[in-house]
Amino acid sequence: MKRTVVKARAFELVDDEGNIRARLGLGNDDSPFLSLHDPDGRVRARFGLDTSGAAGLAIGDEEGKVRATLGLATDGSSSLALGDKNGKIRAKFGLAAEGSPTLGLQHRDGETRFVFSIAQQGSPTLSLQDEDGKARARLGLAAEGSPVLRLLNKEGELRVLMGLAADGTPVLQFVDKDGAPTWSASDTVAVPESEPAEGSESAVGTETQS
């Protein structure tokens, strides 16, 4: 049987009232998309690709506000974002390109206040951020399991460090603006590193709109 090929810029499905309920087409930038509409014409779901090749799915409510997005970027990072009734993103879960997972929670103004991430080597980190998006406190575990708490100033600079060394020795250290220790309760024991993996927090913000 000979196959028939139909070529067009867009296809539309309409209901008995003539309302568009689904559209398959190309955007102004020739990016393909599929959108699903409610009886009032509002887009409730849209799946598509952008010009970079990233794929994204957006789901909206009856008011036309996007309440959830799922995206996969060309670098391999992915994200799931959930929004409130005002369309503000309040929670994001993502994977960085190297596979590090990150969870971010935001307040109603859209600023991230809480970030939990796991580095590629398996070290978890909890980060609390201020209204400017600066991390002010980080609690984490080093690769060998040693806990470390870091307190940072408004510029994101480390000022206080408290934790346990690999052998279980407690460490408390105050640091000046230049990063030099000004006082330490144990200046003979190295404190383990527990910073999040580079790029792990940025994975939370990965959203693909099509």
Is the pLDDT at 2 greater than 90? The verdict is no
Is the pLDDT at 197 greater than 90? The verdict is no
For the full predicted model, state whether its pTM sits above 0.85: no
pLDDT of residue 190: 53
The model's pLDDT over 78-120, given as tens digits with 9 standing for 90+, comes to: 999 999 988 888 999 999 888 889 999 987 665 667 889 887 7
Is the pLDDT at 201 greater than 50? The verdict is no
Q: What average pLDDT does range 63-91 have in this prediction? A: 93
Q: Fill in the amino acid letter for 59.
A: I
CA distances in angstroms from 24 to 32, 33, 56, 209, listed in the order given: 8, 6, 15, 16
- Residue 178: what are its φ and ψ, rounded to 5°? -90, 0
CA atoms within 13 A on the CB side of 207: 14
State whether residue 66 is helix, strand or coil.
strand
Instruction: Give me the sign of the Cα torsion angle 55, 61, 63, 69.
Output: negative
pLDDT-based confidence at residue 168 (cuts at 50, 70, 90) = confident
| Segments of 111-190 assigned E as strands | 112-118, 124-129, 135-141, 147-152, 158-164, 170-175, 181-184
Please name the residues in contact with 119: beta carbons below 8 A apart, sequence gap of 6 or more.
Answer: 100, 125, 196, 197, 200
